[in-house]
Amino acid sequence: MTGPAPSAPDDAGPQRSGSLQDEPFGVLTVQAPQGALGTKWRKVQADLGSTALALARCRANIRRCSSGAREFTTIIKRAAALEGHDRIAVVNRRVNAAIRYVTDQEQWHAGDVWSAPLDADRKGSFETGLGDCEDYAIAKYAALRAAGTSADDLRLLVAWDKDVRSHHAVLAVRDGGTWLVLDNRWSRPIADGEASFLTPLFALNAGGVQQVTATRPRPADTGQDRAGLQSMLILHRSGVMQDRA
């Protein structure tokens, strides 16, 4: 997965779950086949659920929290007091500041580990203070949900970054009629139309893992990046997104 940058379908067949109007980047999606990516996402969702009660207690009495939970709770409280773009912007900025980027190989000596902000083993990104791109995106997803943002307005996107030719993960958040992209490499949210360097491959949300099948045509587009298509096949088989600094 990229770091800081320099500048089974069911038996009835695939079910479309998005339209060009209501998904980020104007994508169409179908339910993805079962695989390693879904396993990672289900574990993250389980970790978020298992720490929800502890997080609620922390919000009630912040002095009884661990330092990581205290910092995460502070972000949630601040975000919950805001709405719309202001809420999205503060979560993006403060999560980016709270986690220091490291690759999974550096942190875990493994190819691709997804971490919730907090977990039962205290190995969450807010407990270690470390993570890579999907860990930032997961923390933003969790913070916005806890602050009151609808799950319908959140998509964790696994994408192919054409500029650095590597996988990348970001969070997309719908603000009114616009999808904003929250990236660990930039302090401000950007509209999906500004992020033409990203080719979305999968969209993860409360309903599971959706596979992108089509995108809105862009000027000078000649079709999806071949490397991006090849990487989708690799992700289907292994669920592993290679780190790249």
pLDDT of residue 60: 87
Find the distance separating the first CA and the last CA of the chain, reported in whole Å: 8
Helix (H, G, I), strand (E, B) or coil at 172: strand
pLDDT of residue 156: 98
pLDDT of residue 121: 86
Helix 226-238 × helix 36-50 angle, to 10°? 70
- In order along its 245 residues, the chain shows pLDDT tens digits of 655 443 432 333 333 454 445 899 999 999 999 899 999 999 999 999 988 888 888 888 888 888 999 999 999 999 999 999 999 999 999 999 999 999 999 999 998 999 999 988 889 999 999 999 999 999 999 999 999 999 999 999 999 999 999 999 999 999 999 999 999 999 999 999 999 999 999 999 999 999 999 876 554 444 445 454 555 545 544 456 654 43
Domains of the chain: which residue ranges? 24-238
User: Is 180:192 a contact under the CB 8 Å cutoff?
Assistant: yes
Instruction: For residues 92 and 188, give the distance between their C-alpha atoms in angstroms, rounded to a whole number.
Output: 7
Q: Which fold has domain 24-238?
A: C8orf32 fold (3.10.620)
* Token pair in block for residue 96: 């980016």
DSSP state of 32: P
